[in-house]
Structures are given as C-alpha cells and as structure tokens.
Amino acid sequence: MRDATLRDVARLAGVSARTVSNVVNGYARVSERTREKVERALVELRYRPNVLARNLARGRSGQIAVVVPYLDTPYFAELLQAIIPRARERGYNVLIDQTDGDAVHERELISRGARAFLFDGMIFSPLGLAQEDLVEIDPDLPLVILGERVSNGVFDHVGIDDVEASRAATAHLIGLGRRRIAAIGDQPYPTGEAAQLRTRGFRQAHADAGLPVDESLIIPTPRFNRADGSGAMRALLSRAEPPDAVFCYSDLVALGALHTALESGLRVPEDLALIGYDDIEEGRYANPAISTVSPDKVAIAATAVDRLLTRIGSAEPVPGIEVRAEHRLIPRESTIGRTPPVS
C-alpha cells in the first residue's frame, strides 16, 4: 500500500492540505471541530508524517544525544533514568551513545562530523578526553558536560564539589577513629580528573586533622569498577600492615573491595571501615550496606537537560557556566555498623 499523503488526508477530511499540515505540526490555530476531523482522517489513512523531512525543513531533529563512557555503570544508568523523562517532558527524544572512554570516538562526537543534524545538542560525560582536549569542541554544538571537567566558558558544566565530598568522606572515617586509611581509585594526569579531585579531598581531610598521608595506601586503578576494587583490596590485604579503613572513589569500587575483604575473613566495619561514592541502589542493598557520598542525580539530570534546551533554543551563543549540584554524606553499616531498627 502506498503511504498516505497530506493531500489524501485533506481530501478525506474535506479541508485544505495546509490545514492538515497545521494540525500535524501543531503550528497554527485550528478549530476543535476541524482538528477532530483531521485527526480522524489521519488515523483512518494511517498517515505517517515524514519526521526526517520535517526536521530537515525546520533545521531541527528533536533529538538530544546523551553520551556516557559505559551504559552498564549503574551511576550512568541511574542518571539516564532521570534524564530521559525530563527530556521527553520537554518534547525531546534521547539518543544514547557509549564511548567506552575511547578518546577517538569522543573527539568525533564533539567535533563537526557525520553525526551533525542527527541531534540538536549533547549531554556528554567525557572519559578519554582530558580538560585540555575540550578546546576542540565545535562552538556551534549546544553542549553540557557532566563529571569532573570544568567549563571553559564555551559549554556548560554540571557536577558536584568533588574535593569537598571526598574530604567529607575521609573525615567521616577519621572521625570514627581510623588512622591507617587507604584510598582506592587514583588515576594519572591528564584524563584522571575525577580521581585527582578525590585524592585532593582525601589529602585535605588528613591535613585538617593533622594526620600524615601514607602515600603507599593510595592505590591507583585503571577504571572505577568492581574488578578494580577487588584487585586493589587484594593488594592492600597482602601488606604487612593492612589499612583499617578505605575510601573508594566509586560505589562499584567499594563493592568489589567489600567482596574481597569479606572473602578474606575480615569483619566490616569492625576490622575495616569502607565508604564509597555515587549512592547507587546496589550499595543500599549490599551486605553490609555501604556508606557513600550521594550526588543529587535528579538535580544534575534536570539542570543538564534544561541548560541544554536553553542553549538549543537560543539564536545567540550562550556563555558557558559552572553549575554545582548538591551532595550529602550517607553513613551506613559499612562504616558505622548495624543500627537498631527504628520501631
């Protein structure tokens, strides 16, 4: 069957093709009665608007891209879960891509390239690209960056205060009387900004308490995942003097470290207190439940979408801004032990 055209719909509804077009595009005022007639005809003829042609005419795709390193990282999955409904409410579909942290793929996405016109703007969490690479961003691409890079005045950046959050997490361990505190997740310059900010907060908490940092207790990991957390914990436990607490740079790292610590017969938190970062649901259901730093993911998602749509909707270039979302420390069993149930 040949696809129905606007003209076919107009003929059946007894109106002009222009009127049908107005109804389909929601452009002009159409009386309720006319709208109903047209909608009935659209359904009857199974009219399928050619979205691609329409977008082309408008110079808009009605899609935004959200680009994250890994979709199976719960932090990103939970963030996407908040971004999608927000974008949909505001009339945008979300195109999701994962980069595996590959710098070449990331660079391709932010430069003028073959993907142009497929999306109107992008929310991007870089991993392979360093801060200094972000100068290559196409200035015509409406862009909001998530994570630990900072705005260079061209794009917006939404994140939390990582240094302060990490300082608070470490201070929590110090406050519990722990003195041999390890850090799992440090990463080298230039792409490891997220990790370096957390290490800075870790050091700051020690300085605030007048405690020295044992540099050998700062364990780098290539990624923030369970396997890396587990491997780092194995290395720590093989030492003559293992730590009595550990600050993990993500909940996944903490969950891997926890698994290995328990497997080795340690009691958590009695022998080893453990705190993570991200507040993913998995940490709340872990045994013991893990203490964490909770970024306000709903606020991050809403701010990112709203700023992006502002940029997309503006005819003039919009200067890039820094937005800091809230975070809070959530102590759970992995640092403070089992609390009696509230009755």
Task: Report the interface residues with a copy of itself, using CB under 8 A.
Answer: 46, 48-53, 55-56, 61, 63, 70-72, 74, 77-78, 80-81, 84-85, 93-98, 100, 112-118, 226, 230, 255-256, 258-259, 262, 281-282, 285-287, 289
Nearer to a copy of itself, 93 or 216 (CB): 93
Nearer to a copy of itself, 129 or 290 (CB): 290
- Helices vs. strands in the chain: H and E counts, helices first: 13, 12
Are 41 and 23 within 8 A, CB to CB?
A: no
Name which of 277, 296, 165 is nearest 229 in CA terms: 277
Shortest separation between residue 206's beta carbon and a copy of itself, angstroms: 29
Nearer to a copy of itself, 136 or 241 (CB): 136
* Residue 310: both structure tokens together: 């502002």
Shortest separation between residue 4's beta carbon and a copy of itself, angstroms: 10
Nearer to a copy of itself, 81 or 216 (CB): 81
Shortest separation between residue 6's beta carbon and a copy of itself, angstroms: 14
Shortest separation between residue 327's beta carbon and a copy of itself, angstroms: 19
| Long-range contacts of the stretch 278-284 (C-beta < 8 A, 24+) | 278/74, 278/75, 278/250, 278/251, 278/252, 279/251, 279/330, 280/74, 280/75, 280/78, 280/251, 280/252, 281/74, 281/78, 282/74, 282/251, 282/252, 282/255, 283/251, 283/254, 283/255, 283/332, 284/332
Are 274 and 290 within 8 A, CB to CB?
A: yes
Nearer to a copy of itself, 68 or 171 (CB): 68
Query: Residue written as tokens 């970062």?
Result: 277
The count of other CB atoms within 10 Å of the CB of residue 81 is 13
Nearer to a copy of itself, 174 or 289 (CB): 289
Characterize the bridge pairing of strands 327-330 and 218-220. Answer: unpaired
* Residue 307: both structure tokens together: 């700023």
Q: How far apart are CA 233 and CA 315, in angstroms?
A: 52
Residue 182 in 3-state DSSP?
A: strand
Nearer to a copy of itself, 95 or 174 (CB): 95
Nearer to a copy of itself, 178 or 226 (CB): 226
Are 123 and 308 within 8 A, CB to CB?
A: yes
* Residue 232: both structure tokens together: 């780092």
Phi, psi angles (nearest 5°) of residue 291? -65, 155
Shortest separation between residue 78's beta carbon and a copy of itself, angstroms: 5
Residue type, 227: A
Shortest separation between residue 281's beta carbon and a copy of itself, angstroms: 6
Shortest separation between residue 74's beta carbon and a copy of itself, angstroms: 7
| Count of CA atoms in the C-beta half-sphere (13 A) of 182 | 28
Shortest separation between residue 272's beta carbon and a copy of itself, angstroms: 13
Shortest separation between residue 25's beta carbon and a copy of itself, angstroms: 11
Nearer to a copy of itself, 97 or 214 (CB): 97
